[in-house]
Each structure stands twice: as C-alpha cells, then as structure tokens.
Amino acid sequence: MAEGNKAARDGGGLRFKVRGPRDFYGGLALIAVGIIAIWATGDLGGSRGFAFGPGTAPRMFAILLAFMGALIAIGGLLADGPPIEKFAIKGPAYVVAAILLFACLIRGVSLEYIGVPVNIPGFGLVVSTFVAFMVSIMGSSEMRWTESLLAGIGMTVFCVLLFVYLLALPFQLWPSFL
C-alpha cells in the first residue's frame, strides 16, 4: 500500500534530476542552434562522392555542434555543476548596439524606407571602428576612459593596417563628406 501512495505522489514515469543546470540548459541551447543551422542549410547542395557541395561543411559543423550540445546536456544530468546565475544584459546590449552602429556608420544609411527622410553619410573605417569600440567597451563595469581611448586608437590602427594595407580591401577610410 505504501508503494502505491509513493507512485501516486511522484506521478510515476521516468524522471531526471538536473545536477548541473548551466551545462544542461547550455547543451540544449547548442542543440537548438545546431538544428536551426541544419534547417537553414537544407536547400544547399550536399556532397556527391568525393566532391563537397556548398552545404556540406555547414551541415557537418551543425551536426557536430548538436552532438557536442547533447554530450554537454548529458553531462549536466550526470555531474554536479554550478547553478544558473542572473543574466547580465548590459554588456551584450552594448556590444549589439556597437555592431549595429558600426554597420550604419561605415557606409552610411538611409532611413527613407521607414518613412523618415534622413540620410546618414558614410563615416569610413577609421571613425566607425573607433566609435564602435568605444560603445562596446562602455558595457564593461571595469571600463576606464584613458585605457579605453588608448585601446580604441590601437584597435583602429590595427584594423586599418590589416584590412586596408595588408588585405587590400577597398574600404573608405575617412568620412565621405570631408
């Protein structure tokens, strides 16, 4: 009789205890990204014999990502791990804002397609890189202005040397209105 009451309280069935929630839910997220990537590459051709098609490598990496996510999720079920902490939104929000700002500033943007008669001219690689770096670093709680300005200048010089002079990519360096 006691066993019947225990089964009724537990609801029966197969139950898993998540011992490492960060690993378990992170693994599920990796599986989801892998499945989305497999779906997104569905209309790309695969390999035929020994010749790789355009969808072979993306699908192969997506399957590998989903497999690794499954292993991590299983590890979260089997091994104790740290709990999920509060998610900090400030840093990622500043980084996303910096990426969008860089995309708008490098070549310019027109807002006429949303009904706003505003055209922002292109600011070029130098200004866009420096502004994007400074916006992204503002998301850190450890930011210091002097170090950030020097790092921003260094990153801008590095990007100009790499993309314009070493790789010879046709980037506009300075604002188009100068």
pLDDT digits (tens, 9 = 90+) for 88-109: 888 899 999 999 999 989 988 8
| Whether 2 contacts 23, CB under 8 Å | no
Query: What is the per-residue pLDDT for 85?
Result: 82
- Coil, strand, or helix at residue 140? coil
Query: What is the per-residue pLDDT for 107?
Result: 85
Q: Could you tell me which residues are beta bridge partners of residue 120?
A: 109
pLDDT category, 47, cuts 50, 70, 90? low
Structure tokens at 141: 């709680």
Give start and end residues of each alpha helix (H) in 41-144. Answer: 56-78, 90-107, 124-137
d(C-alpha 29, C-alpha 38), whole Å: 14
pLDDT category, 3, cuts 50, 70, 90? low
The backbone torsions φ and ψ at residue 110, rounded to the nearest 5 degrees and listed phi first, read -115, 130
In the chain, the amino acid numbered 97 is A
H or E element, residue 119: strand 119-120
Q: Report the mean per-residue pLDDT for the chain.
A: 86
d(C-alpha 108, C-alpha 101), whole Å: 10
Nearest to 142 by CA among 85, 91, 84: 91
- Residue 114 burial (CB count, 10 A): 7
Give the mean pLDDT of 69-92.
88
Query: What is the per-residue pLDDT for 49?
Result: 61
- What is the pTM for the complete model shown? 0.58
Q: Which of 4-13, 27-36, 111-120, 167-176 has the highest mean pLDDT?
A: 27-36
Q: What is the pLDDT of residues 126-171, one digit of tens each?
A: 999 999 999 999 988 888 899 999 999 999 999 999 999 998 888 8
Among positive and negative, which fits the CA dihedral 52, 58, 61, 64?
A: negative
Report how far apart, in Å, the C-alpha atoms of 147 and of each of 41, 83, 139, 152 are.
Answer: 43, 34, 15, 8
How many residues are recorded in the chain? Answer: 178
Give the mean pLDDT of 8-34.
81
